Chains A and B, each alone.
Chain A
Amino acid sequence: MQSLLLLGDEAIAQAALDAGMSGMYAYPGTPSTEIMEYVQSAAQAAEGNVHREWSANEKTAMEAALGMSYAGKRAMVAMKHVGLNVAADAFINSSVTGVNGGLVVVAADDPSMHSSQNEQDSRFYGKFAMVPQFEPRNQQEAYDMIFDAFELSEKLRLPVLFRITTRLAHSRASVTRQAVRKQNENSLPYNTRQFVLLPAIARKQYKALTVLFETLPSEPLISRWNRLRKGTDRSVGILTCGIAQNYLMENIADDQERYTVLSVAAYPLDRGLVSELVSSCEKVLVLEEGYPLIEEQLRGLLDRDVRVLGRLDGTVPRDGELNPSIVASALGMKTAMGKEVPSMVKQRPPSFCKGCGHADLYSALAEVMKEIGPGRVFSDIGCYTLGALPPYNMVNSCVDMGASVTMAVGAADAGLFPAVAVIGDSTFTHSGMTGLLDAVIKDSPVTVLISDNSTTGMTGGQKSQAADRIESICLGLGVSREHLRVIVPLKKNHEENVNVIREELMYHGLSVILARRECIQTATRDKKAESAKKTDNR
């Protein structure tokens, strides 16, 4: 079979294509973005006519995938961890409806917050929804487990949660492919009332789900991924989840026979296996990437039957990503350390690109805010959040996608005037426009600045659902024509833009300023692609 050098994300994408997926649904978000990008660029996806358009947000992605599953075909949804919050309503209910075609939900967590606002652990969602979960240890397993995930999903008629973290998502290794499976034909669900979650139906299905959930640990497609190996040393048993196993092996590979290790990569966990580990060792060290989920379960509320070491007692740091050195210390091994970082080495935070329109917009806004005072700029998530850093120091909030608009509305409700929201085009269509409707209905004295660079910049320039639609969306929602202003954030327009911003900020009602200038990164990329095409045609 063919071997490829793939990122964890790419291994998942390739596996889904090979496992007969008919539809890939996603909204970009680090570290999950490359899954969809790989599918979009794969010839195999085009040949198989696999759906591969971006969705407006994670919830619409999740629901569309559920719809594809309803119609009998295999679908995959991918998102970053916080995206699962957005998709949660659909996701949690999808375990009660069950599925028809296989449905795999990939959640990419970001411990240590390399590119995120929190480090929430998606495994809680799997437990919450009562679905099977996979957490691959390496790129090859990520590939192979996707086959099992689809198979299990169709066998149990349940969605499956597939949890990865940044390190696996963005690390490359060799992956060997399996034989390609055909896509499913269309088919209706075996029970056409299955998706109708009226209380009478939902109660019945939910009860069945609770029964099914108890049987999952002994399901072979789950249990085959969890293994207990007993060693000669019984003082400490080690339980690893997902990639924590690699950091353990990095330290004990030469002396493996000594250690008793339960290596977990699929959930829910089998009680028998855990009990065997616990009863054969004096203490158990839990190594898991993310929250101390399994550790808490082992300790229980009373925390007295098992001696547990992990994140909760300080053996492992309470937060942040694991690494081989942390695991070595947890094992009581000596760790090496190179020289300290010399104090002259300074932080180098990310910054606006040269020629970025967001920067010129903030320059104009800064001038007006100097006249008005601090503490009134609610922002959102995207490249424009960098306005929080010097020299601008302009941004007073960045919470979740869309919160700029609604937080400004709430602050205005409390009497803060003027209140300003700054939001990007993709974030606006993701979750900003519903909040804008609230503002329209109340005619909130808020100014919403939409910094439209015609792309989803922060995640690498994916197509924005907002493209050329923002004006008509705003007007359609009921923003008044008079207070929908369009500006071009360029240095040469600075004076003019300052005046427009000042006028609208002083207006006691809802106004929207659309600052439109293409992202310098995508503009350069498109120009390059264009000239490459021309040379090819010659």
Chain B
Amino acid sequence: MKCDIILAGVGGQGILSIAATIGLAAVEKNLFLKQSEVHGMSQRGGDVQSHFRLSDSEIHSDLIPYGKADLIISVEPMEALRYLPWLSPEGGLVTSSVPFVNIPDYPEKEDIMKEIGKVHNSVVIDADSIAKQLGSSRSGNMVILGAASSFIALPFESLENAVRQLFRRKGEEVVDLNLKALRAGREAAAR
């Protein structure tokens, strides 16, 4: 088993907490993992990505080769498209539909959606409204992770346990909100 994931977004959107959650779940399942992160310059509102590799055997490269990623998880729709060269023809794409517009020449949303639609395994969800409905506008990340969970070769319970572990220090309320967000994302994607 191997599962290579590109996580994408804009600096400050918190893709690293998605990575941390998958990481904890993978550790629980005793899998090998390598996760390359972005720190520094581009964190200031620039595009950021993380290569996340899971496997039941030794992983060599920290980077995923072009055309070999099983999944793109993005918290921003235009950013999802930036990493298409890495996605394998059978790969999936899960993204939030909510644009983060901090550049003057941001494309039309319809054009982005059309392009995403061409990826045959794509899931687009409005993570922000789902999170807001749950009363935790900051859990959009977990909604996206939930939506992507069926593509990730890990049991859903392991992801739930990881969320518990990751947010434990912030109190029960925060844990519950994030668990709800994770489950809501999974349901939204199944619809």
Contacts and interface: CB of A to CB of B under 8 A. Distances in A.
A and B are partners in one complex rather than unrelated chains: yes
Interface of A: 5, 7, 30-31, 33-34, 114-115, 167-168, 170-174, 243, 245-247, 249-250, 253, 323-325, 328, 335-342, 344-353, 383, 386, 390, 458-460
A339 B60 CA distance: 24
A246 B36 CA distance: 14
Main secondary structure of the interface of A (DSSP, over half): loop
Given A114-B38, A339-B84, A328 B65 contact: yes
A178 B35 CA distance: 23
A383 B44 contact: yes
B135 interface: no
Contact of A246 (B60, B67, B107): B60
Given A34-B39, A338-B86, A345-B78, A250 B46 contact: no
8 contacts: A168-B62, A171-B51, A338-B84, A340-B84, A342-B84, A344-B111, A346-B106, A351-B102
Contacts, number: 159
Interface stretch (B26-34, B139-147, B150-158): B26-34
A43 to B, nearest CB: 15
Given A5-B27, A172-B35, A344-B112, A250 B89 contact: no
A325 B68 CA distance: 10
B112 A348 contact: no
Contacts of B89: 338
A172 B23 contact: yes
Given A324-B65, A336-B67, A170 B37 contact: yes
Interface of B: 10-11, 23, 27, 32-47, 51, 59-69, 78-79, 81-82, 84-89, 91, 102-108, 111-112, 115, 118-119
A31 B38 CA distance: 9
Nearest to B19: A172
A247 B63 CA distance: 8
Closest 8 CB pairs of A and B: A336-B67, A30-B40, A115-B40, A350-B44, A350-B46, A249-B60, A115-B41, A171-B62
A352 B36 contact: no
A247 B36 CA distance: 14
A40 B47 CA distance: 29
Contact of A342 (B33, B38, B81): B81
Contact of B47 (A170, A324, A348): A348
Contacts of B44: 350-353, 383, 386, 458
A342 B102 CA distance: 19
A503 to B, nearest CB: 32
B84 A31 contact: no
A250 B36 contact: no
